[in-house]
């Protein structure tokens, strides 16, 4: 006993002499030093631009004066702003619902294709997702073109049209959603297909013996077993869709009358094209809280489910 | 309540003939075990009865109705899988009630049946748990509960105990037997473990290479195997089989195992075996328990001979002794107090009343 007490006191007096050395040997210090590069990286790539955007959003148009929250006040008072909020929500939610639904159905169809053929189909169905969105949107632009629309040409013999695809608010909104679904659905398909493959075949056999029809097996077995992937994919895609820029930019540029603008495209219109950078920054900042809520839900969900399974 | 009938049932996977035209009649309330080595077509047969595999040829009838084209959900059967196949997202109660719920059974009847089955299986306190919160044995019970609740025409089991440790396996074996005594449903049970087959079955079906080798009550298979395969497969340690010659000396017959060792065939068998005298490729079969230490009062058909032991394995209640005749290892079971020592000579006694004579060419027991 006495012996150990002696040694401890000796050790502590030695520690006092080299405080820095002790600090260096503490585990938390080492951990901090090792994560320092990452912290610096995050700061320069995330915190600094975010702070700068916040700062920009509080300047006047000529960027000469600090005006606090005037820009936000101005936005709230404009109808276009509320329309962009509404359009962004409509766009994101309906596009994700359709992508999820189509992805789910196609995943089941593909999963029922036997063996080698399945690989081919999987590859082909992924094409829309793999092509750079701006490029494929350009092809869609030609398909919707007001004078040369291939769709109108096909519909004409049926006595339908000509439809002003991109010229009328309702149709234009339909078109941007359609193109987004076309590009995004394969991602859902591949995620759901992977989830589907992880449902053990025996559960289906057990359910079949328990008397479940094909439809009941999807409802009672596949759907609950794929719940995690369905939720995470949908939330993830909601964030990306919400922040979409390229499709709207290429297809409609926000027209007609700004009715197809999303936050990102409207911010671009105001900030870059109209030269009011602070106002554009203010608009783009509105995405942050909405996306933050989404991201938090995803992360919490993954954590919770992770400990559950 | 139903009997199950298989008529010339064939299953072909592309080019593999998994089941080669089997006939089988399973009575109402009977417990039948399909046993055989891995890959012999047991699971395939069971899955065809369940309707999970289409049959290539032949007929399967449940309760007198041919069900060849009836999907599993309409066959009114229940199946317990090797890895239980419990629905991981449902708790035990939901797992057990799933089949009834699909049939739109009233809630109070579901509840009554689930609780009754849970009581039979002693899992009442587990009803709220998810499968992953259960041990292997508990999952096994739940899987059985799911089958019992449905009150189906037939129970099908596919190696239900092979994922359990040895001790639990023995325990659950007894449990399954008890449940069958309480519930009395026609049962088809698949296993590769012949001990499980012997202990559980009313009748055992021994399968090999897609064929049925023999069907019969456990004791009949054990004492009167019809083929070399059944003789070797049933019983542990396995039956000794030694190449031999059948010799006639006057009225009596002898099996000659080596230049120095020949044993007299019991008089009751001479008429049966006489046509095979001098035939090449005969095997002499004798189970280890019929090869014991010698005793003071030998019965009529017991014969003694001296052997040099190679290995002894004390098992507690008996000792296994191994020796070789013409390079073939032979096993005997002697009393632990009989003084068996490795590399020493011992006098053993063969009970020839239990001998078998096997034709190695046709693989039939003569
Ligand atoms: N889905 C399948 N496709 C091709 N061959 C199969 C399939 N299932 C089983 N087999 C073959 O059929 C034979 C019998 O298999 P199985 O009934 O599973 O044997 P076991 O008696 O071990 O249960 C084996 O040779 C196996 O390889
Ligand atoms: Mg098997």
The finding on whether B37 has its CB within 6 A of some atom of ligand 1 is no
- Mutate which: A204, A209, A307, vs B, most B CBs within 10 A: A209
Q: Which residue of A has its CA nearest to B86?
A: A203
Find the B22 Cα to ligand 1 centroid distance in Å.
Answer: 15
pLDDT of residue A65: 79
Contact criterion met (CB < 8 Å) for A208 and B73: yes
Q: B60 pLDDT exceeds 60?
A: yes
pLDDT of residue A253: 80
Packing angle of the helix pair A227-242, A287-308 (nearest 10 deg):
170
ipTM at complex level:
0.84
Closest CA to B37 of B204, B209, B161: B209
pLDDT of residue A16: 53
Find the B55 Cα to ligand 2 centroid distance in Å.
Answer: 17
pLDDT-derived band at A10 (thresholds 50, 70, 90) equals very low
* Residue B317: half-sphere exposure toward Cβ, Cα within 13 Å: 1
pLDDT of residue B1: 59
Q: Mapping DSSP to helix (H, G, I), strand (E, B) and coil, where does residue B26 land? A: strand
Contact criterion met (CB < 8 Å) for A210 and B73: yes
Least confident of A159-168, A283-292, B116-125, B144-153: A159-168
Contact criterion met (CB < 8 Å) for B85 and A203: yes
Work out the average pLDDT over A37-58.
Answer: 86
Contact criterion met (CB < 8 Å) for B73 and A206: no
Kindly state whether B52 is in contact with chain A, defined as any CB-CB distance less than 8 angstroms. Answer: yes
Q: Where in chain A is the domain with CATH 1.10.3720.10?
A: 78-308
Provide the percentage of residues in chain B whose pLDDT is more than 70: 100
State the DSSP string of A40-78: HHHIIIIIHHHHHHHHHTTB-TTS-SB-TTHHHHHHHT-
Tokens of B104: 């739109």
Find the B293 Cα to ligand 1 centroid distance in Å.
Answer: 44
Q: pLDDT tens across A143-195, in order? A: 887 777 777 777 777 877 777 777 788 888 888 899 999 999 999 999 999 99
- Whether the model clears a pTM of 0.95, i.e. scores above it, the answer is no
Residues of B in contact with A203 (CB under 8 A): 85, 87
In chain B, positions 283-342, which contact chain A (CB-CB < 8 Å)?
none
Q: Which residues surround ligand 2, an ion (CB under 5 A)?
A: B 43
Round to whole Å and give the CA distance between B207 and B213.
5
Count CB neighbours of B296 within 10 A: 4
Least confident of A24-28, A218-222, A223-227, B296-300: A24-28
Q: Which ligand is nearest to the CA of B13?
A: 1
Least confident of A53-57, A206-210, B114-118: A53-57
Q: pLDDT tens across A49-94, in order? A: 888 888 888 887 777 777 787 888 888 888 888 888 888 888 999 9
Residues B4-230, CATH architecture: 3-Layer(aba) Sandwich (3.40)
pLDDT of residue A94: 94
Q: pLDDT tens across B170-183, in order? A: 888 898 898 888 88
Q: Which of A200, A210, A224 sits opposite B102 (nearest CB)?
A: A210
Q: A198 pLDDT exceeds 50?
A: yes
pLDDT of residue A302: 67
pLDDT of residue A107: 92
pLDDT of residue A6: 46
Summary mean pLDDT of chain A: 82
Round to whole Å and give the CA distance between A246 and A133.
7
Q: A3 pLDDT exceeds 80?
A: no
The protein residue whose alpha carbon is closest to atom 5 in ligand 1 is B13
Give the closest-approach CA distance of A73 to chain B in angstroms: 49
Contact B82, B159 (CB under 8 A): yes
- Mutate which: B51, B52, B90, vs A, most A CBs within 10 A: B52
Start-to-end C-alpha separation, chain B:
39
Q: Which of B50, B103, B132 sits opposite A211 (nearest CB)?
A: B103
- The torsion of the CA quartet B192, B193, B198, B202, rounded to 10 degrees, works out to -40
Q: Which ligand is nearest to the CA of B34?
A: 1
- Write down how long chain B is: 366
For residue B45, the ligand 1 atom closest to its alpha carbon is 17
Is domain A78-308 annotated with CATH 1.10.4190.10? Answer: no
Contact B349, B292 (CB under 8 A): yes
Residues of A in contact with B89 (CB under 8 A): 224-225, 227
Q: Which of A202, A210, A221 sits opposite B99 (nearest CB)?
A: A210
Count CB neighbours of A232 within 10 A: 18
pLDDT-derived band at A309 (thresholds 50, 70, 90) equals very low
Packing angle of the helix pair A115-130, A79-111 (nearest 10 deg):
160
The finding on whether B208 has its CB within 6 A of some atom of ligand 1 is no
pLDDT of residue A8: 47
pLDDT-derived band at B189 (thresholds 50, 70, 90) equals very high
* Residue tagged 């999820």 (tokens): A100
CATH code, residues B240-365: 2.40.50.140
Work out the average pLDDT over A265-294.
Answer: 83
Summary mean pLDDT of chain B: 90
For residue B46, the ligand 1 atom closest to its alpha carbon is 17
State the DSSP string of B195-234: HHHHHH-SEEEEEETTEEEEEE-HHHHHHS-SBHHHHHHS
- Domain range summary for chain B, segments of one domain joined by +: 4-230, 240-365
Find the B210 Cα to ligand 1 centroid distance in Å.
Answer: 10
pLDDT of residue B95: 93
What is the phi/psi pair of residue B208, to 5°? -155, 125
Residue B334, judged by CB atoms within 10 A of its CB (0-12, 13-18, 19+), counts as buried
pLDDT of residue A17: 55
Q: pLDDT tens across B297-320, in order? A: 888 888 888 889 999 999 889 999
* DSSP letter (8 states) at residue B159: S
* Residue tagged 């992508």 (tokens): A99
**Residue A75 Cα distances to A10, A84, A163, angstroms:** 68, 11, 34
Kindly state whether B167 is in contact with chain A, defined as any CB-CB distance less than 8 angstroms. Answer: no
Work out the average pLDDT over A30-47.
Answer: 88
pLDDT of residue A1: 44
């Amino acid at each position: 006993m006495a012996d150990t007490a002696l040694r401890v006191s000796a050790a502590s007096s030695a520690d006092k002499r080299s405080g820095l050395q002790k600090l260096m040997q503490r585990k938390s210090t080492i951990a901090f030093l090792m994560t320092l590069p990452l912290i610096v990286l995050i700061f320069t790539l995330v915190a600094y631009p975010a702070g700068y955007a916040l700062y920009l959003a509080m300047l006047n148009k000529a960027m000469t004066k600090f005006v606090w929250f005037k820009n936000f006040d101005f936005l709230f008072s404009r109808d276009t702003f509320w329309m962009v909020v509404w359009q962004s929500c409509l766009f994101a939610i309906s596009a994700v619902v359709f992508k999820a639904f189509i992805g789910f159905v196609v995943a089941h169809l593909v999963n029922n294709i036997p063996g080698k053929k399945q690989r081919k189909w999987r590859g082909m169905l992924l094409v829309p997702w793999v092509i750079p969105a701006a490029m494929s949107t350009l092809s869609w632009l030609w398909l919707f073109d007001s004078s040369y629309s291939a769709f109108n040409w096909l519909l004409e013999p049926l006595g339908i049209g000509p439809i002003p695809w991109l010229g009328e608010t309702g149709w234009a909104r339909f078109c941007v959603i359609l193109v987004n679904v076309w590009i995004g659905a394969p991602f859902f398909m591949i995620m759901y297909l992977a989830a589907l493959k992880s449902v053990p075949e025996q559960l289906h056999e057990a359910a079949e013996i328990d008397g479940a029809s094909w439809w009941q097996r999807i409802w009672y077995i596949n759907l609950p077993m794929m719940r995690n992937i369905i939720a995470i994919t949908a939330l993830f895609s909601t964030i990306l869709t919400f922040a979409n820029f390229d499709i709207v930019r290429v297809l409609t540029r926000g027209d007609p009358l700004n009715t197809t603008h999303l936050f990102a495209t409207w911010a671009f219109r105001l900030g870059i094209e109209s030269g009011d950078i602070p106002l554009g920054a203010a608009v783009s900042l509105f995405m942050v809280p909405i996306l933050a809520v989404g991201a938090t839900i995803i992360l919490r969900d993954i954590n919770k489910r992770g400990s559950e399974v | 309540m139903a009997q199950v009938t298989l008529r010339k049932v064939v299953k072909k996977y592309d080019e593999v003939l998994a089941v080669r035209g089997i006939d089988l009649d399973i009575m109402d309330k009977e417990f039948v075990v399909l046993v055989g080595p891995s890959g012999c077509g047991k699971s395939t047969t069971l899955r065809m009865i369940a309707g999970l595999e289409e049959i290539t040829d032949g007929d399967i009838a449940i309760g007198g109705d041919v069900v060849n084209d009836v999907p599993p959900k309409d066959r009114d059967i229940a199946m317990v899988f090797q890895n239980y196949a419990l629905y991981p997202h449902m708790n035990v109660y939901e797992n057990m009630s799933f089949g009834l719920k699909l049939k739109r059974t009233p809630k109070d009847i579901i509840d009554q049946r689930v609780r009754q089955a849970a009581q039979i299986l002693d899992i009442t306190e587990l009803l709220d748990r998810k499968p992953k919160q259960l041990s292997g044995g508990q999952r096994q019970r739940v899987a059985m509960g799911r089958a019992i609740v449905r009150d189906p025409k037939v129970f099908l089991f596919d190696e239900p105990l092979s994922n359990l440790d040895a001790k639990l396996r023995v325990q659950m074996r007894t449990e399954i037997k008890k449940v069958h005594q309480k519930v009395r449903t026609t049962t088809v049970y698949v296993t590769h473990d012949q001990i499980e087959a012997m202990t559980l079955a009313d009748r055992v079906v021994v399968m090999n290479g897609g064929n049925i080798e023999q069907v019969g009550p456990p004791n009949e298979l054990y004492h009167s195997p019809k083929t070399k395969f059944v003789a070797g497969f049933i019983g542990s340690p396995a039956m000794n089989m030694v190449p031999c010659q059948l010799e006639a000396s006057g009225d009596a017959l002898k099996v000659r195992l080596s230049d120095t060792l020949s044993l007299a065939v019991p008089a009751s068998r001479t008429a049966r075996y006489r046509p095979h005298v001098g035939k090449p490729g005969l095997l002499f079969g004798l189970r280890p328990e019929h090869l014991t230490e010698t005793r003071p009062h030998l019965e009529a058909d017991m014969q003694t001979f001296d052997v040099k032991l190679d290995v002894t394995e004390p098992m507690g209640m008996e000792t296994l002794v191994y020796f070789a005749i013409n390079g073939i290892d032979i096993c005997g079971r002697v009393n632990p107090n009989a003084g068996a020592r490795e590399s020493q000579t011992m006098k053993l006694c063969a009970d020839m009343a239990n001998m078998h004579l096997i034709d190695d060419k046709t693989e039939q027991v003569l």
